[in-house]
Protein backbone atom coordinates (compact mmCIF):
# COMPACT_ATOMS: atom_id res chain seq x y z
CA UNK A 1 0.00 0.00 0.00
CA UNK A 2 1.33 3.40 -0.98
CA UNK A 3 0.29 6.53 0.94
CA UNK A 4 0.47 9.83 -0.97
CA UNK A 5 -0.21 13.28 0.47
CA UNK A 6 -0.91 16.30 -1.70
CA UNK A 7 0.14 19.35 0.28
CA UNK A 8 1.29 22.93 0.23
CA UNK A 9 0.78 25.49 3.00
CA UNK A 10 -0.02 28.03 0.28
CA UNK A 11 -3.73 28.16 -0.60
CA UNK A 12 -5.32 27.81 -4.01
CA UNK A 13 -2.34 26.21 -5.78
CA UNK A 14 -4.25 23.20 -7.14
CA UNK A 15 -3.89 20.63 -4.33
CA UNK A 16 -7.48 19.40 -4.45
CA UNK A 17 -7.37 19.33 -8.26
CA UNK A 18 -4.26 17.16 -8.15
CA UNK A 19 -5.80 14.84 -5.56
CA UNK A 20 -8.99 14.41 -7.53
CA UNK A 21 -7.22 13.68 -10.82
CA UNK A 22 -4.80 11.27 -9.11
CA UNK A 23 -7.50 9.34 -7.24
CA UNK A 24 -9.59 8.91 -10.40
CA UNK A 25 -6.54 7.95 -12.48
CA UNK A 26 -5.41 5.29 -10.00
CA UNK A 27 -8.93 3.89 -9.62
CA UNK A 28 -9.40 3.82 -13.40
CA UNK A 29 -6.27 1.67 -13.66
CA UNK A 30 -7.98 -0.86 -11.39
CA UNK A 31 -6.42 0.10 -8.06
CA UNK A 32 -8.45 0.17 -4.84
CA UNK A 33 -8.06 3.73 -3.55
CA UNK A 34 -8.87 5.27 -0.19
CA UNK A 35 -9.27 9.06 -0.38
CA UNK A 36 -8.89 10.96 2.89
CA UNK A 37 -10.10 14.56 2.92
CA UNK A 38 -8.36 16.39 5.76
CA UNK A 39 -9.49 19.85 4.65
CA UNK A 40 -12.53 21.33 6.42
CA UNK A 41 -13.46 23.03 3.11
CA UNK A 42 -14.42 19.46 2.00
CA UNK A 43 -13.84 20.23 -1.70
CA UNK A 44 -12.42 16.80 -2.45
CA UNK A 45 -15.37 15.10 -0.73
CA UNK A 46 -17.94 17.02 -2.76
CA UNK A 47 -16.07 16.46 -6.05
CA UNK A 48 -16.15 12.73 -5.27
CA UNK A 49 -19.92 13.01 -4.82
CA UNK A 50 -20.03 12.88 -1.02
CA UNK A 51 -21.45 15.51 1.31
CA UNK A 52 -21.82 14.86 5.02
CA UNK A 53 -23.18 16.93 7.91
CA UNK A 54 -20.45 16.28 10.43
CA UNK A 55 -17.23 14.38 9.91
CA UNK A 56 -16.06 11.87 12.51
CA UNK A 57 -12.39 12.21 11.51
CA UNK A 58 -11.30 13.62 14.92
CA UNK A 59 -13.04 10.76 16.76
CA UNK A 60 -11.46 8.22 14.35
CA UNK A 61 -7.99 9.68 14.88
CA UNK A 62 -8.39 9.68 18.65
CA UNK A 63 -9.59 6.06 18.52
CA UNK A 64 -13.20 6.50 19.66
CA UNK A 65 -14.86 5.52 16.35
CA UNK A 66 -13.91 2.62 14.01
CA UNK A 67 -12.91 3.03 10.35
CA UNK A 68 -16.08 1.26 9.16
CA UNK A 69 -18.21 4.05 10.62
CA UNK A 70 -16.47 6.68 8.49
CA UNK A 71 -15.76 5.16 5.15
CA UNK A 72 -18.21 5.81 2.26
CA UNK A 73 -18.13 4.86 -1.42
CA UNK A 74 -17.53 7.70 -3.84
CA UNK A 75 -20.25 8.52 -6.32
CA UNK A 76 -20.22 9.78 -9.88
CA UNK A 77 -20.18 8.90 -13.55
CA UNK A 78 -17.75 6.14 -14.52
CA UNK A 79 -17.25 2.57 -13.24
CA UNK A 80 -13.94 3.52 -11.60
CA UNK A 81 -15.92 5.11 -8.73
CA UNK A 82 -16.48 1.53 -7.53
CA UNK A 83 -12.75 1.44 -6.69
CA UNK A 84 -12.81 4.60 -4.57
CA UNK A 85 -13.71 4.83 -0.89
CA UNK A 86 -13.58 8.14 0.91
CA UNK A 87 -13.21 9.41 4.43
CA UNK A 88 -15.08 12.64 3.98
CA UNK A 89 -14.63 16.00 5.63
CA UNK A 90 -16.95 18.77 6.80
CA UNK A 91 -16.63 22.21 8.38
CA UNK A 92 -16.41 20.60 11.81
CA UNK A 93 -12.85 19.43 11.02
CA UNK A 94 -11.66 23.00 11.53
CA UNK A 95 -11.74 22.20 15.28
CA UNK A 96 -9.31 19.29 14.95
CA UNK A 97 -6.35 20.93 16.67
CA UNK A 98 -8.46 22.00 19.64
CA UNK A 99 -9.99 18.53 19.97
CA UNK A 100 -6.54 16.94 19.88
CA UNK A 101 -5.39 19.17 22.73
CA UNK A 102 -8.46 18.18 24.78
CA UNK A 103 -7.67 14.48 24.22
CA UNK A 104 -3.96 14.79 24.89
CA UNK A 105 -3.64 12.17 27.61
CA UNK A 106 -5.71 9.61 25.67
CA UNK A 107 -3.54 10.20 22.59
CA UNK A 108 -0.34 9.81 24.57
CA UNK A 109 -1.55 6.42 25.79
CA UNK A 110 -2.50 4.98 22.41
CA UNK A 111 -0.18 6.61 19.87
CA UNK A 112 2.59 8.27 21.88
CA UNK A 113 2.39 11.53 19.93
CA UNK A 114 -0.44 13.18 18.04
CA UNK A 115 1.71 13.38 14.88
CA UNK A 116 1.54 9.58 14.65
CA UNK A 117 -2.24 9.23 14.92
CA UNK A 118 -3.05 9.12 11.21
CA UNK A 119 -0.23 6.68 10.47
CA UNK A 120 -1.56 4.37 13.15
CA UNK A 121 -5.12 4.49 11.80
CA UNK A 122 -3.97 3.88 8.23
CA UNK A 123 -1.88 0.91 9.36
CA UNK A 124 -4.99 -0.55 11.00
CA UNK A 125 -6.77 -0.51 7.63
CA UNK A 126 -4.09 -2.99 6.51
CA UNK A 127 -3.76 -3.86 2.87
CA UNK A 128 -7.40 -3.35 1.86
CA UNK A 129 -6.25 -0.57 -0.48
CA UNK A 130 -3.49 -0.23 -3.08
CA UNK A 131 -3.27 3.52 -2.53
CA UNK A 132 -4.27 6.03 0.12
CA UNK A 133 -4.40 9.63 -1.18
CA UNK A 134 -4.73 12.50 1.30
CA UNK A 135 -5.85 16.07 0.59
CA UNK A 136 -4.68 18.65 3.14
CA UNK A 137 -5.60 22.23 4.09
CA UNK A 138 -3.43 25.25 3.18
CA UNK A 139 -1.72 25.55 6.57
CA UNK A 140 1.28 23.90 8.15
CA UNK A 141 -0.85 22.44 10.94
CA UNK A 142 -1.67 19.10 12.53
CA UNK A 143 -3.40 17.73 9.41
CA UNK A 144 -0.40 18.26 7.13
CA UNK A 145 2.16 17.11 9.72
CA UNK A 146 0.20 13.93 10.49
CA UNK A 147 -0.09 13.25 6.78
CA UNK A 148 3.66 13.65 6.25
CA UNK A 149 4.35 11.17 9.06
CA UNK A 150 1.90 8.68 7.51
CA UNK A 151 2.99 8.98 3.84
CA UNK A 152 5.56 7.54 1.47
CA UNK A 153 5.44 10.61 -0.71
CA UNK A 154 4.24 14.21 -0.76
CA UNK A 155 3.22 15.82 -4.03
CA UNK A 156 3.62 19.60 -3.82
CA UNK A 157 1.74 21.60 -6.45
CA UNK A 158 3.56 24.91 -6.79
CA UNK A 159 2.69 28.07 -8.68
CA UNK A 160 5.27 30.37 -10.16
CA UNK A 161 4.33 33.43 -8.08
CA UNK A 162 7.02 34.73 -5.71
CA UNK A 163 5.02 34.19 -2.55
CA UNK A 164 4.17 30.64 -3.52
CA UNK A 165 7.81 29.70 -4.04
CA UNK A 166 8.91 31.51 -0.86
CA UNK A 167 6.31 29.59 1.16
CA UNK A 168 7.87 26.40 -0.13
CA UNK A 169 10.94 26.88 2.05
CA UNK A 170 8.86 26.62 5.20
CA UNK A 171 7.24 23.42 3.95
CA UNK A 172 10.59 21.93 2.93
CA UNK A 173 12.02 22.67 6.40
CA UNK A 174 9.13 20.74 7.95
CA UNK A 175 9.61 17.96 5.40
CA UNK A 176 13.28 17.63 6.42
CA UNK A 177 12.46 17.53 10.14
CA UNK A 178 9.85 14.82 9.66
CA UNK A 179 12.17 12.83 7.42
CA UNK A 180 14.93 12.99 10.06
CA UNK A 181 12.73 12.22 13.05
CA UNK A 182 9.62 10.22 12.16
CA UNK A 183 9.70 9.06 8.55
CA UNK A 184 13.11 8.50 6.90
CA UNK A 185 11.54 7.06 3.72
CA UNK A 186 9.45 10.14 2.93
CA UNK A 187 9.96 11.48 -0.61
CA UNK A 188 8.70 14.63 -2.29
CA UNK A 189 7.88 15.83 -5.80
CA UNK A 190 7.41 19.46 -6.81
CA UNK A 191 4.78 19.86 -9.48
CA UNK A 192 4.48 23.16 -11.37
CA UNK A 193 0.79 24.02 -11.17
CA UNK A 194 -1.50 26.22 -13.29
CA UNK A 195 1.43 27.03 -15.56
CA UNK A 196 1.10 29.92 -17.97
CA UNK A 197 4.11 29.36 -20.21
CA UNK A 198 3.53 32.59 -22.14
CA UNK A 199 4.42 34.76 -19.17
CA UNK A 200 8.16 35.39 -19.09
CA UNK A 201 8.24 36.17 -15.40
CA UNK A 202 6.70 32.75 -14.69
CA UNK A 203 9.23 31.01 -16.89
CA UNK A 204 12.03 32.77 -15.05
CA UNK A 205 10.69 31.86 -11.59
CA UNK A 206 10.19 28.25 -12.63
CA UNK A 207 13.70 27.90 -14.00
CA UNK A 208 15.04 29.38 -10.74
CA UNK A 209 12.97 26.84 -8.81
CA UNK A 210 14.31 24.04 -10.99
CA UNK A 211 17.85 25.01 -9.96
CA UNK A 212 17.05 24.26 -6.31
CA UNK A 213 14.67 21.32 -6.74
CA UNK A 214 13.95 18.68 -9.30
CA UNK A 215 10.51 19.48 -10.75
CA UNK A 216 8.15 17.11 -12.55
CA UNK A 217 6.40 18.02 -15.82
CA UNK A 218 3.87 20.78 -15.07
CA UNK A 219 0.11 21.17 -15.39
CA UNK A 220 -1.03 24.09 -17.52
CA UNK A 221 -3.66 26.62 -16.54
CA UNK A 222 -6.61 25.40 -18.62
CA UNK A 223 -10.33 26.23 -18.57
CA UNK A 224 -10.87 22.53 -19.06
CA UNK A 225 -9.47 21.82 -15.60
CA UNK A 226 -12.15 23.98 -14.02
CA UNK A 227 -14.75 22.18 -16.14
CA UNK A 228 -13.43 18.87 -14.84
CA UNK A 229 -14.25 19.92 -11.27
CA UNK A 230 -17.62 21.50 -12.03
CA UNK A 231 -18.73 18.49 -14.10
CA UNK A 232 -17.20 16.09 -11.53
CA UNK A 233 -15.41 14.27 -14.32
CA UNK A 234 -11.65 13.65 -14.33
CA UNK A 235 -9.75 15.00 -17.36
CA UNK A 236 -9.49 11.57 -18.98
CA UNK A 237 -13.29 11.64 -19.41
CA UNK A 238 -13.28 14.99 -21.20
CA UNK A 239 -12.33 13.83 -24.70
CA UNK A 240 -9.65 11.62 -26.10
CA UNK A 241 -6.58 13.76 -26.31
CA UNK A 242 -7.43 16.96 -24.50
CA UNK A 243 -4.63 19.15 -23.12
CA UNK A 244 -5.46 18.46 -19.48
CA UNK A 245 -5.25 14.72 -20.07
CA UNK A 246 -1.94 15.16 -21.94
CA UNK A 247 -0.45 17.08 -18.99
CA UNK A 248 -1.64 14.60 -16.40
CA UNK A 249 -0.58 11.56 -18.44
CA UNK A 250 2.95 13.00 -18.63
CA UNK A 251 2.92 13.71 -14.90
CA UNK A 252 1.73 10.23 -13.87
CA UNK A 253 4.33 8.68 -16.13
CA UNK A 254 7.10 10.78 -14.57
CA UNK A 255 5.90 9.77 -11.10
CA UNK A 256 5.44 6.08 -12.01
CA UNK A 257 1.80 6.21 -10.99
N1 LIG B 1 -4.53 23.52 -14.00
C2 LIG B 1 -5.54 24.33 -13.70
N3 LIG B 1 -6.07 25.16 -14.65
C4 LIG B 1 -7.09 25.99 -14.36
N5 LIG B 1 -7.67 26.07 -13.17
C6 LIG B 1 -7.21 25.28 -12.17
C7 LIG B 1 -6.12 24.38 -12.39
N8 LIG B 1 -5.87 23.74 -11.22
C9 LIG B 1 -6.76 24.22 -10.33
N10 LIG B 1 -7.56 25.14 -10.89
C11 LIG B 1 -8.63 25.92 -10.22
O12 LIG B 1 -8.02 26.77 -9.27
C13 LIG B 1 -8.78 26.83 -8.08
C14 LIG B 1 -7.93 26.33 -6.89
O15 LIG B 1 -7.63 24.97 -7.11
P16 LIG B 1 -7.72 23.93 -5.91
O17 LIG B 1 -8.99 24.05 -5.17
O18 LIG B 1 -7.37 22.60 -6.46
O19 LIG B 1 -6.52 24.50 -5.01
P20 LIG B 1 -6.16 24.12 -3.51
O21 LIG B 1 -4.69 24.26 -3.40
O22 LIG B 1 -6.75 22.81 -3.15
O23 LIG B 1 -6.90 25.26 -2.69
P24 LIG B 1 -7.07 25.33 -1.09
O25 LIG B 1 -5.73 25.75 -0.57
O26 LIG B 1 -8.14 26.34 -0.87
O27 LIG B 1 -7.45 23.95 -0.63
C28 LIG B 1 -10.02 25.99 -8.32
O29 LIG B 1 -11.05 26.80 -8.75
C30 LIG B 1 -9.58 25.04 -9.43
O31 LIG B 1 -10.67 24.61 -10.22
MG1 LIG C 1 -7.98 22.25 -1.56
Atom of ligand 1 nearest to the CA of 230: 31
- Judged on CB neighbours under 10 Å (0-12, 13-18, 19+), 221 is middle
Residue 256 lies inside a defined structural domain of this protein? no
Q: Separation of 217 CA from ligand 1 center, angstroms? A: 17
| Pairing state between β 2-6 and 33-37 | unpaired
Question: Which residue has the least CA distance to atom 16 on ligand 1?
Answer: 14
Residue 255 lies inside a defined structural domain of this protein? no
Give me the average pLDDT of each 10-residue run along the chain (257 residues). 96 96 98 98 97 96 94 96 98 92 81 88 93 97 97 94 76 95 96 85 80 89 95 94 95 97
In this structure, what CATH number is given to the domain that contains residue 55?
3.40.50.300
Q: What are the CA-CA distances from residue 19 to residues 7, 107, 135, 162, 195 (Å)? A: 9, 29, 6, 24, 17
pLDDT at 164: 66
Q: Tell me the residues surrounding ligand 2 (ion) with CB < 5 Å.
A: 15-16
pLDDT at 161: 75
Name the β-bridge partners of 5: 134, 154
Question: Which residue has the least CA distance to atom 29 on ligand 1?
Answer: 226
Pocket residues: Cβ below 6 A from ligand 1: 11-17, 39, 41, 43, 138, 194, 219, 221-222, 225-226, 229
Residue 46 lies inside a defined structural domain of this protein? yes
Rounded Cα distance, 182 and 180, in Å: 6
pLDDT at 70: 95
Counting ligands in written order, which one lies closest to the CA of residue 167? 1
Rounded Cα distance, 47 and 75, in Å: 9
93: domain range? Answer: 2-250
Residue 257 lies inside a defined structural domain of this protein? no
Domain count within the chain: 1
Q: CA angle, corner 168, sides to 164 and 172, nearest 5?
A: 170
Atom of ligand 1 nearest to the CA of 19: 18
Residue 204 lies inside a defined structural domain of this protein? yes
Counting ligands in written order, which one lies closest to the CA of residue 191? 1
pTM of the full predicted structure?
A: 0.96
Q: CA angle, corner 72, sides to 76 and 252, nearest 5?
A: 60
Please provide the DSSP assignment of 54-105 as one string: S--HHHHHHTSS-GGGTEEE--SSSGGGGGEEEE---GGGGGHHHHHHHTHH
Counting ligands in written order, which one lies closest to the CA of residue 248? 1
Amino acid sequence: MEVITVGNNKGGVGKTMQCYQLICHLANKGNKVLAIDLDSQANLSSTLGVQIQRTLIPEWLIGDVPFQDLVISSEGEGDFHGNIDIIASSRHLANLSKLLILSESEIRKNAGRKERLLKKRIQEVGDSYDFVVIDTPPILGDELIMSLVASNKILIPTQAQDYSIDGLEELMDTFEIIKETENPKLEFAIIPSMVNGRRNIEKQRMSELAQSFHCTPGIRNLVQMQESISLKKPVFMLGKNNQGKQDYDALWEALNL
